[in-house]
């Protein structure tokens, strides 16, 4: 049976908008579509059908699971999202015998993490159900775009969580809320704020203002998304009839000239503009009045387009009777000071002309809210009587909120560091004082964690291969310009660009091949990004080189090109054949099978170009090329900088050649355009970048992940049902791994810092060791910290087990386990705290004050001097210490009194770093097990119970006597954990040369040649019911005369402003 036929039948017969379970699924398919399926045939569909094949079934079951019982046919008293509802749904569909198969198809979203203040919840399910016209239409859009029911449900929940925390637009009394939504780079934030806008209009908001980046192309891209998926054709035409447009009216919109998505009927395959249909404009389904268009950002004109009319003069504007009969204004405005100044001028004019305007419920959505919106002026020397001096864009945004008293502000960003450094004491600024919502990483999203895992292999215990390392599979190193002569660099760069261009053609051919082999695949766009800097000179140089390489290569001659054959066989084929990257996409057997598709790809790439320029576009103010992803297919190479950076979606991006340096982690992460959704070609994506730049990405990714983990760990209610963490407390949770890569371009975190913090439930790495130029401090660390720990250890190492799961989000779960040997010992808690406090750290930043002392103070609080008065009943009595003995490593040192050769791990510093990177996840797994009071010779209990066989564990052979640490509850639950890391700190180049010359001698710790780093875990049991795992205080004022750096780098702002003005 053809899976596509089954898919189409289910999609037609089982509507997710109004779920009906009046007949069984196979019964309905047989009766209505003549599709008769045996048990084996239907089970084959469930097990072997692609994600696309089974989506209609998953969507319908999800909708039926989440609907209120009285909204289903037949009605049910079972509670949504419960096992009872699941059993009822499967029974009604006649699928009880397929429960296990269906369960494996369902993807359950993680709960959304929200940090907020106490709020009054007005947006109840009943209120949402009163009017859901725009939201229902937007659900249709998402479903048509291929979103499954689980993903739509997640967006629904996230938008609802935000709207609940804004003010009721019909309320008599109100405040102007400030909130922030944090997603991932290229992860679909636009869909989230479009869902919020749809729900807000349904609830009664009558002016939606979207601040859409700093570039024209990003504003235009956002305007199109809003028009296409929210406003609809009716709002774009605004009373005009498309077929009757005259020559002047055709010029009103870019959509009216050769736009295939505007022309396409909703029932046809491919992108299309939404049409709301007959209910549009009726009571509760307000017409939309666009005050910006596809061709025009906000501009002042003789007549003010910002006008409202109150239907019932006897009632206030915010009365439901008025809101239901009023149009909704929608503006998509670029964050440019001049544009916003004009906008504010007309807002003031509107309020002056009609006093009703100040009562209008307004929602301001700030896309990329950490860019341009932030106030970067130093207020340090401001007297209390002086007004804040603000940067121009920030001033205009705060003016919008003052001109619209009922305005609610929600910022959206993937890099929130600048937002949480805003002065929270400024009542009119944009600090998200009311709530912060952290979006989950979507299951099919391919972000930083998908590409970057080099740090997991730094200890040398495991060699990275394509099979075990995503970085090895997808990242190709480029020559660092600073490490070569100009001539050698220029020659090498040319060769690198040729390789990347070859890969662009090969992966395009593979997309054509897959389209031919599988009708489910259709690749509208295929792009390559070349981003080396923000200057137009380097763009011009790269463009000229690429065009010359394109002309000389002869891709269309139909002959084998040896370099491309080798690239296919040695680079592409091994990755495509690896199941963890390719879930079943078609793969050619050899290069010869691909050659005909190279010609097809070449022809697609040359559409709309000349032989001289080829498919190379220079996307900046000099080149003036601009890809139009909506008007038709784009198979092109895009060379550019700022325009192809933050917020802008490069559709179909497969190959990235990247050299741009950034001064902060958030700017660097925002340039990662290769992150996103890569359905059908995730195994073809390649990043070409210098190794040290990749390391910077990993550090930025690590800092972002730590920030999210910290928030998730504390975003729970305390015993009094109050938030343990509020938005005013976020800044100190920001992490910085590299001294030269700040979280955002600011040296001023606002005046709060952590005084106490647990090192649980995840181990905390303390790796910021003294510089090499401080051998005395390094030697003191070994003498005062490492030696006392080593003296506690037994002579014989113990074998510990580690385990991990991958692919949880995608549903393609793989489980791994293994063993590793450790020397083990225990130390009294008080002694450990004394040596930890004596340890020396790097001078860069305030590492000891911000990272070490809060952990020490927390652990002291678990002793008798803390929350207990009797030391005998302390919550922290000892630490279990482990020292890894890596397999295959022969580097050791001998120390009198230590009964074993002391192993050194393969760590080394990278230039400019103050830490050593990448504590092995195997080691932190064991640390977490110890701190949780678990055995270490078997995986943790929950994993054992559910997946013992998959981990290769024989539960029956376990013997507690094999454990190195006492597992009696009174001891195990009061034990912390320490990973001691020792490494030869002379540098890998020195060590390798000495071994090569035969002059190698072990490092001398007394000369500071052995580095000492730690990872610690505090007792997990102490977290249960604890109120003291996180405590705050006020940071002292900066020293007099110390200048606070701007949050947004001034040079980048100037470059972007120059581009804006040029546009």
> Taking 70 as the threshold, does the pLDDT of residue 753 lie above it?
no
Rounded CA gap, 958 and 961, in Å? 9
> Taking 90 as the threshold, does the pLDDT of residue 253 lie above it?
yes
Q: Which of 355, 327, 346 is CA-nearest to residue 399?
A: 346
When pLDDT is cut at 50, 70 and 90, the band that residue 830 belongs to is very high
Range of lowest pLDDT (53-67, 657-671, 715-729): 715-729
Residues facing 1032 on adjacent strands: 754
The pLDDT value given to residue 810 = 42
Are 623 and 539 in contact, with CB atoms under 8 Å apart? yes
> Taking 50 as the threshold, does the pLDDT of residue 869 lie above it?
no
Are 439 and 192 in contact, with CB atoms under 8 Å apart? yes
Q: What is the mean pLDDT of residues 286-303?
A: 90
Compute φ and ψ for 986, nearest 5 degrees. Answer: -85, -10
When pLDDT is cut at 50, 70 and 90, the band that residue 441 belongs to is confident
Q: What is the mean pLDDT of residues 808-828?
A: 75
> Taking 70 as the threshold, does the pLDDT of residue 387 lie above it?
no
Which tokens hold the place of 568? 């296919």
Where do the DSSP E strands lie in 789-865? 798-806, 814-828
> Taking 90 as the threshold, does the pLDDT of residue 1025 lie above it?
no
Instruction: Return the number of other C-beta atoms located less than 10 Å from residue 291's C-beta.
Output: 20
Q: Where are the alpha helices (DSSP H) in 715-828?
A: 775-781, 787-790
More reliable by pLDDT, 133 or 188: 133
Residues facing 288 on adjacent strands: 328
Which tokens hold the place of 740? 């030269």
Q: What is the mean pLDDT of residues 810-822?
A: 70
> Taking 90 as the threshold, does the pLDDT of residue 647 lie above it?
no
| Stated pTM of the model | 0.71
Q: Report strand pairing: 435-438 vs 113-116.
A: antiparallel
Domains and CATH numbers, the chain: 3-105 (no CATH), 114-378+389-438 (3.40.50.300), 446-698 (no CATH), 776-981+1017-1032 (no CATH)
Rounded CA gap, 1031 and 753, in Å? 9
Question: pLDDT for 629-642, tens place per residue?
Answer: 877 899 999 998 87
Omega before residue 572 within 30° of 0, cis: no
More reliable by pLDDT, 168 or 480: 168
Which tokens hold the place of 627? 């890809």
Q: Quote the crossing angle between the two packed helices 149-164 and 133-144, to the nearest 10°.
A: 150
When pLDDT is cut at 50, 70 and 90, the band that residue 295 belongs to is very high
> Taking 80 as the threshold, does the pLDDT of residue 870 lie above it?
no
Are 652 and 524 in contact, with CB atoms under 8 Å apart? yes
Range of lowest pLDDT (417-431, 877-891, 1016-1030): 417-431
Rounded CA gap, 906 and 915, in Å? 14
Q: How many CA atoms lie within 13 A of 426 on its CB side?
A: 24
Rounded CA gap, 2 and 536, in Å? 53
CA 466 to mean position of chain CA atoms: 24
Range of lowest pLDDT (450-454, 537-541, 901-905): 450-454
The pLDDT value given to residue 54 = 84
When pLDDT is cut at 50, 70 and 90, the band that residue 867 belongs to is very low
Output the DSSP codes for 609-653: --TTTTTEEEESTTT-----TTTS-EEEEEEESGGGSTT---TTE
Residues facing 330 on adjacent strands: 208, 290
Q: Which of 89, 106, 91, 108 is CA-nearest to residue 46?
A: 106
When pLDDT is cut at 50, 70 and 90, the band that residue 907 belongs to is confident
The pLDDT value given to residue 188 = 80
Three-class secondary structure of residue 152 per DSSP? helix
Q: CA geometry: angle at 984 spanning 979 and 986, to 5°? A: 140
When pLDDT is cut at 50, 70 and 90, the band that residue 934 belongs to is very high
The pLDDT value given to residue 1050 = 30
Q: Within the chain, how many helices (H) and strands (E) appear?
A: 37, 26
When pLDDT is cut at 50, 70 and 90, the band that residue 340 belongs to is very high
Compute φ and ψ for 764, nearest 5 degrees. Answer: -110, 125
Distant-in-sequence, close-in-space partners of 54: CB < 8 Å, separation ≥ 6: 7, 45, 46, 105
Q: How far is CA 915 from CA 855, 910, 911, 978, in A?
A: 18, 8, 10, 17
Rounded CA gap, 266 and 575, in Å? 38
Question: pLDDT for 17-45, tens place per residue?
Answer: 678 999 999 999 999 999 999 999 999 99
Q: Which of 925, 951, 906, 912 is CA-nearest to residue 464?
A: 906
Question: pLDDT for 93-140, tens place per residue?
Answer: 999 999 989 988 876 556 667 777 778 899 998 899 899 999 999 999
Q: What is the mean pLDDT of residues 294-315?
A: 88
The span from the first CA to the last CA of the chain, in angstroms, equals 56
The pLDDT value given to residue 747 = 36
Could you tell me the maximum CA-CA distance found in the chain, to the nearest angstrom? Answer: 96
Burial class (CB in 10 A: 0-12, 13-18, 19+), 297: buried
The pLDDT value given to residue 621 = 81
Q: What is the mean pLDDT of residues 982-992?
A: 87
Compute φ and ψ for 400, nearest 5 degrees. Answer: -55, -45
Range of lowest pLDDT (204-218, 612-626, 1027-1041): 1027-1041
More reliable by pLDDT, 245 or 81: 245
CA 848 to mean position of chain CA atoms: 29
CA 143, 147, 152, 158 dihedral sign is negative
Q: Quote the crossing angle between the two packed helices 189-203 and 149-164, to the nearest 10°.
A: 60
Three-class secondary structure of residue 952 per DSSP? coil
Are 318 and 359 in contact, with CB atoms under 8 Å apart? yes
Three-class secondary structure of residue 785 per DSSP? helix
Most confident residue range from 11-15, 758-762, 855-859: 855-859
More reliable by pLDDT, 388 or 923: 923
Distant-in-sequence, close-in-space partners of 70: CB < 8 Å, separation ≥ 6: none
The pLDDT value given to residue 110 = 61
Q: How far is CA 982 from CA 25, 776, 778, 822, 994, in A?
A: 62, 16, 11, 13, 20
């Amino acid at each position: 049976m053809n899976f596509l036929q089954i898919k189409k039948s289910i999609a037609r017969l089982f509507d997710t908008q109004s779920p009906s379970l009046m007949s069984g699924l196979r019964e309905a398919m047989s009766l209505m579509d003549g599709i008769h399926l045996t048990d084996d045939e239907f089970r084959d569909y469930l097990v072997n059908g692609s994600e696309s094949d089974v989506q209609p079934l998953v969507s319908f079951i999800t909708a039926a699971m989440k609907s209120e019982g009285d909204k289903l046919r037949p009605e049910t008293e079972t509670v949504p999202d419960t096992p009872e509802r699941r059993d009822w749904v499967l029974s009604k569909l006649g699928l009880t015998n397929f429960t296990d198969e269906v369960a494996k198809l369902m993807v359950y979203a993680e709960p959304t993490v929200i940090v907020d203040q106490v709020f009054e919840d007005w947006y109840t399910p009943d209120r949402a159900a009163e009017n859901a016209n725009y939201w229902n239409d937007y659900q249709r859009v998402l479903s048509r775009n291929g979103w499954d029911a689980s993903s739509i449900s997640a967006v629904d929940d996230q938008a609802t969580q935000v709207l609940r925390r804004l003010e009721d637009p019909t309320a008599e009394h109100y405040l102007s809320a400030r909130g922030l939504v944090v997603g991932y780079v290229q992860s679909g934030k636009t869909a989230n704020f479009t869902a919020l806008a749809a729900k807000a209009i349904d609830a009664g908001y009558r002016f939606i203002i979207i601040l859409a980046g700093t570039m024209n192309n990003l504003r235009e891209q956002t305007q199109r998304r809003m028009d296409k998926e929210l406003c609809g054709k009716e709002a774009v035409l605004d009373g005009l009839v498309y077929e009757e447009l005259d020559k002047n009216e055709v010029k009103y919109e870019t959509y009216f000239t050769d736009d295939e998505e505007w022309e396409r009927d909703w029932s046809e395959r491919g992108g299309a503009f939404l049409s709301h249909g007959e209910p549009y404009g009726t009571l509760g389904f307000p017409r939309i009045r666009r005050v910006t268009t596809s061709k025009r950002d906000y501009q002042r004109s003789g007549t003010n387009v910002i006008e409202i009319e109150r239907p019932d003069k006897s009632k206030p504007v915010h009365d439901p009777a008025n809101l239901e009969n009023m149009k909704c204004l929608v503006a998509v405005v670029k964050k440019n000071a001049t544009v916003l100044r004009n906008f504010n001028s007309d807002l003031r004019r509107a309020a002056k002309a009609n006093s009703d305007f100040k009562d209008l419920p307004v929602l301001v959505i700030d896309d990329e809210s950490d860019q341009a919106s932030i106030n970067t002026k130093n207020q340090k020397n401001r007297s209390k009587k002086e007004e804040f001096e603000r940067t121009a864009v920030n001033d205009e945004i705060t003016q919008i909120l003052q001109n619209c008293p009922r305005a609610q502000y929600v910022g959206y960003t993937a890099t929130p560091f600048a937002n949480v450094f805003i002065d929270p004491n400024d009542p009119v600024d944009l600090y998200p004082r009311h709530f912060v919502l952290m979006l989950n990483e979507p299951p099919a999203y391919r972000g930083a964690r998908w590409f970057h895992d080099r740090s997991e292999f730094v200890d040398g215990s495991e060699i990275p291969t394509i099979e075990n390392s995503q970085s090895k599979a997808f990242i190709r190193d480029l020559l660092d310009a600073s490490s070569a002569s100009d001539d050698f660099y220029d020659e090498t760069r040319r060769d690198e660009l040729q390789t990347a261009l070859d890969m662009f053609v090969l992966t395009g051919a593979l997309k054509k091949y897959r389209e031919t082999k599988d009708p489910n695949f259709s690749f509208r766009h295929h792009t390559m990004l070349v981003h080396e800097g923000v200057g137009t000179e380097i763009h011009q140089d790269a463009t000229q080189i690429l065009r010359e390489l394109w002309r000389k290569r002869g891709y269309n001659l139909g002959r084998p090109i040896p370099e491309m054959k080798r690239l296919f066989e040695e680079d592409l084929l091994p990755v495509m054949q690896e199941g963890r990257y390719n879930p079943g996409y078609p793969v050619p057997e050899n290069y010869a099978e691909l050659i005909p598709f190279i010609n097809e790809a070449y022809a697609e790439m040359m559409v709309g170009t000349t032989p001289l320029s080829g498919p190379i576009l220079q996307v900046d103010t000099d080149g003036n090329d601009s890809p139009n992803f909506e008007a038709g297919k784009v198979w092109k190479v895009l060379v550019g900088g700022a325009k192809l950076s933050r917020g802008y979606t490069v559709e179909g991006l497969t190959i990235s050649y990247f050299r741009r340096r950034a001064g902060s982690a958030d700017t660097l992460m925002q340039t990662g355009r290769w992150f996103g959704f890569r359905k059908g070609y995730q195994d073809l994506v390649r990043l070409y970048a210098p190794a040290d730049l990749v390391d910077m990405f990993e550090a930025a990714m690590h800092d972002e992940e730590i920030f999210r983990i910290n928030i998730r760990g504390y975003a729970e209610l305390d015993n009094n049902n109050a938030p343990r963490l509020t938005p005013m407390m976020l800044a100190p949770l920001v992490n910085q791994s590299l001294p030269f890569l700040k979280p955002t371009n600011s040296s001023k975190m606002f005046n709060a810092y952590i005084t106490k913090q647990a090192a649980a439930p995840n181990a905390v790495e303390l790796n910021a060791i003294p510089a090499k130029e401080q051998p005395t401090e390094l030697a003191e660390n070994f003498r005062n910290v490492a030696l006392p720990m080593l003296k506690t250890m037994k002579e014989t190492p113990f074998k510990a087990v580690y385990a991990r799961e991958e692919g949880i989000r995608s549903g393609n779960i793989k489980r791994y386990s293994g063993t590793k040997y450790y020397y083990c010992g225990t130390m009294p808690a008080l002694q450990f705290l004394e040596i930890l406090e004596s340890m020396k750290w790097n001078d860069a930043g305030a590492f000891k004050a911000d990272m070490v002392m809060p952990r020490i103070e927390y652990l002291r609080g678990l002793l008798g001097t803390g929350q207990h008065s009797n030391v005998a009943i302390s919550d922290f009595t000892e630490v279990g210490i482990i020292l890894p003995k890596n397999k295959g490593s022969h580097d050791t040192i001998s120390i009198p009194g230590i009964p074993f050769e002391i192993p050194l791990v393969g760590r080394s510093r990278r230039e400019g770093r103050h830490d050593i990177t990448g504590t092995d996840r195997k080691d932190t797994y064991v640390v977490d097990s110890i701190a949780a009071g678990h055995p270490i010779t078997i995986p943790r209990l929950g994993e054992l119970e559910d997946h013992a066989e998959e981990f290769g564990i024989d539960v029956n052979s376990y013997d507690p006597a094999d454990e190195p640490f006492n597992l009696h509850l009174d001891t195990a639950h009061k034990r912390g954990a320490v990973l001691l890391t020792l490494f030869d700190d002379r540098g890998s180049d020195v060590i390798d040369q000495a071994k090569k010359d035969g002059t190698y001698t072990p490092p001398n710790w007394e000369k500071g040649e052995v580095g000492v780093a730690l990872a610690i875990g505090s007792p997990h049991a102490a977290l249960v019911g604890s109120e003291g795992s996180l405590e705050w205080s006020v940071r002292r004022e900066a020293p007099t005369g110390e200048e606070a750096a701007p949050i947004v780098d001034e040079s980048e702002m100037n470059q972007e402003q120059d581009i804006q003005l040029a546009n």
